[in-house]
Amino acid sequence: MRYARSLLLLLVGAPLLIAATSPDPVFDKRFNSFIDAGYDALTAPPEWFDPTERVAGGGDTSIPVAAPSTKAIASTALAAAASYAEAQGSTALIVMRDGAVEYEHYWRDNGPDSVFNPQSMSKTVLALLVGAAIADGKIRSVDDPVERYVPEWRGDPRGKITIENLLNMASGLAQLEEGFGYELTPENPAARQHFGSDFHAPILTLRAKVPPGQTFDYNNNGSNLLGLIVERATGERYADYLSRKLWAPLGLRDAHLYLDKPEGHPITACCILSHPRDWAKIGQLILQNGKWEGREIVPASWIAAMIKPSAPYKGYGYQIWLGDQKVEAERPSHLAPDDSWQSEPFAAPDIIALRGHGFQRVWIIPSKKLVIMRAGKSWPPSWNEALIPNILIRGMK
C-alpha cells in the first residue's frame, strides 16, 4: 500500500492513542499486533493476515523446466543477475524463456513452498479478472460507468467514471490518505481501512478531485473499487471467481486473500498471499496472449488492451506498467526509497511489468520470449530497475 512508507515513522505510544480514538476493535487488534511485532509492509509474514480466504489452485502445479541443450541465456548472465538479486535482499529469482524455466533460485531460507506477499502485482491479476468478466458477459465493456455496478453513486458525478478510467489509474478520485502524508497513525483513513473491519465502506467516501480520464494518479482504492465491481457483476466471491478463471486453470498453488472480517470482503489492490512460481506462470500467460497449454484462459484481445499505453500516461496500461519509467544515469537524491529508478533504458523496448511494493516484480519481454520473476521480503539497499532485465536480455545467445 502507498502509506507503507510511514511504517518507518512510527512513534512510541501510538497504540495508546488508538485505544482512545478507535471505535473498531478489529482495527485495534490488528494495528497493535503489527506495531508490537515491529512489522512493516514487507516483513509482515503471511500468518499475520487474518482472516483470509482460500483461492483454490489446480491439480497440476508443476512448471516446465528447460533442457540444458535448449537454454538460450548465458550462464554468466544468469550468475550476474542472481548475484545482484541476492545482494538486494531477494528471496526468489525465476527466469523463464520460451515457456520453460532456465534459472530458479531461492535465498534466506525460502524455497518453492514459501509464501510471500506480491503486494500490488495483485492489481494485474485484478485486470485479468475484469477481462474474464467482460468475456463472460458479466461486465458489458470498459466503457461502462461505475454507477451501473455501484448504485450508491447513481446520479453522482463519480458514477460516470468508467471501468477503463479505473483500469488506467485515471479515475480522478482523491487519495483516501490525502493530506496525511502517508503517516501510519490511527487517524489516517488509509490505515483505518487496511487494518479495519470494512474494506469497502471507505472506497465509497472517495471524493472526485479532477475529471476522470485526464490525469494518471496511482490510487489503491481505484483498484479496490474494481474488485468490488467484479464481485457485484459476477455475483461470485472474488476468491471463487479468481480460482475458477485463473488460479485453477493455470495449475497454481492454493493462495489466500486478506479479508476485512470472516466471510467478508478481500482487499484487491494487493496481498494475494501466494508462491513465486505462480507469478512466473501468470507472466507467461500474458506473454502467450492469454493462452495456457493451448487453451484460452483470457481473450488475446483483452491482453492486447491491457498492454496498450493509456492516454493519461503512456507508461501504464490496464493495471500494468509499460516500458521505461524513471531513467537517469544517477539516482536522484530526492527519490524516496520505494521510488523506482533505472540507470538506463530497458534493452528491449517492449518490456511489460507487474510491480509491487518492495520491488516485487514480474518483467515480461515478448520480443525475447522472456519472463523474469523477482520476490523479496525486505527492503533492497540499492535498487536499479534496469539491471536484472538488461543483464538477462543482453546475455541471450
Q: What is the mean pLDDT of residues 346-369?
A: 97
Rounded average pLDDT over 313-332: 95
The overall average pLDDT reported for the chain is 92
> Is pLDDT of 391 > 70?
yes
Q: 130: which residues sit within 8 A by CB, 6+ positions away? A: 139, 142, 163, 167, 226, 229, 230, 318
pLDDT given at position 312: 95
* Residue 14 confidence (pLDDT): 32
- Coil, strand, or helix at residue 362? strand
Lowest mean pLDDT among 57-66, 163-172, 266-275, 352-361: 57-66
- Give whole-number Cα distances, 275 to 46, 114, 191, 232, 236, in Å: 11, 6, 26, 28, 24
Report the relative pairing of strands 272-273 and 255-258 from DSSP bridges.
antiparallel
As given in the structure block, the three cell numbers for residue 163 are 471501468
The predicted-structure confidence for 40-52, as pLDDT tens digits, reads as follows 888 899 999 999 9
Would you state the pLDDT for residue 186?
85
Closest CA relative to residue 371, chosen from 100, 96, 106: 96
- Summarised one tens digit per residue, pLDDT across range 76-119 is 999 999 999 999 999 999 999 999 999 999 999 999 999 999 99
Give me the residue spans of the domains in the chain: 41-173+208-394
Contact partners, residue 178, CB within 8 Å, separation at least 6? none
- pLDDT (0 to 100) of residue 62: 86
Task: List the beta bridge partners of residue 352.
Answer: 322, 364
Which pLDDT score is estimated for 229? Answer: 98
**Distance (Å, whole) CA 94 – CA 48:** 26
Task: Tell me phi and psi for residue 95, to 5 degrees.
Answer: -120, 120
Instruction: Specify whether the CB–CB gap between 329 and 344 falls below 8 A.
Output: yes
In sign, the C-alpha dihedral spanning 367, 369, 373, 374 is negative
pLDDT in tens, 164-206: 999 999 999 999 987 666 677 888 899 999 999 999 999 999 9
Q: Which CATH number fits domain 41-173+208-394: 3.40.710.10, 3.50.50.60, 3.30.450.270, 3.40.50.2000?
A: 3.40.710.10
Give the C-alpha separation, 49 to 267, whole Å.
11
pLDDT of residue 7 exceeding 60, the answer is: no
